[in-house]
A and B are shown apart, each in its own frame.
Chain A
Amino acid sequence: KQEVTQIPAALSVPEGENLVLNCSFTDSAIYNLQWFRQDPGKGLTSLLLIQSSQREQTSGRLNASLDKSSGRSTLYIAASQPGDSATYLCAPPGYSSASKIIFGSGTRLSIRP
């Protein structure tokens, strides 16, 4: 059974800092890994999807890396802004039940102006 851990659970940093969010998973047989953002009271917004054959994916100030062998993914946010404040979730499905995407509990990020 896939288990997903996200560290840290919460993070507060001043505006402008670069930061790294970590995601680890126990079942490395994954199709892909998706990073989401969730604003309070809202649904999830997809940020990046890394295919299992890729090692990283970039979108603007966001860069996500994937190391299947070690069961880890990181989300790098450059030059953080107050608008980046949200909860960030990673989700890797497994081959055994690819429709059943397993989410971590998320990292609650707060960027101080």
Chain B
Amino acid sequence: GAGVSQSPRYKVAKRGQDVALRCDPISGHVSLFWYQQALGQGPEFLTYFQNEAQLDKSGLPSDRFFAERPEGSVSTLKIQRTQQEDSAVYLCASSSKVGPPYEQYFGPGTRLTVT
């Protein structure tokens, strides 16, 4: 079956622009996670959804970052007024579990470059 998909795969934005990154989880997966991965580092947690509810957004680095999952399936991560430090790969993962232990399945990521 289809895995987690993300679009676009690559995004170049000028500093100050807004961007929207999309994640399509595995069908039926109730849990959805967003991560930010800087070059040479492991992924860092941004936010977690259980269905449409955003249960944990403690990893969002600033109020310029906003995530939503209005119908409990597709999720969008929006970054407003992008800065150079936002350049990273943004990974989305989904899980069929509603609580721990999660076994997460990752998408290929969106590489964001802010110039």
Contacts and interface: CB of A to CB of B under 8 A. Distances in A.
Interface of A: 4, 31-32, 34, 36, 41-46, 49, 51-52, 89, 91, 93, 97-106
Interface size class of B (residues with CB under 8 A): 20 to 34
B101 A49 contact: yes
Complex A-B, nearest 6 residue pairs according to Cβ-Cβ distance, in ascending order:
A103-B42, A98-B100, A43-B106, A32-B101, A44-B106, A99-B48
B103 A46 contact: yes
A77 to B, nearest CB: 19
Contacts of B31: 99
B72 interface: no
Majority secondary structure, A binding face:
loop
B101 A51 contact: yes
Interface in B34-49: 35, 40-45, 48
13 contacts: A31-B100, A34-B103, A41-B108, A44-B104, A52-B101, A93-B100, A93-B101, A99-B31, A100-B56, A100-B59, A103-B35, A105-B40, A106-B41
Given A44-B43, A105-B40, A100 B48 contact: yes
Nearest to A44: B106
For A42, A51, A101, A102, the residue with the greatest tally of chain B CB atoms inside 10 Å of its CB is: A101
Contacts of B100: 31-32, 93, 98-99
A46 B103 CA distance: 8
A44 B91 contact: yes
Contact of A97 (B6, B43, B58, B107): B58
Nearest to A52: B101
Given A97-B58, A100-B45, A103-B43, A43 B109 contact: yes
Interface string B11-55: 000000000000000000001010100001111110010000001
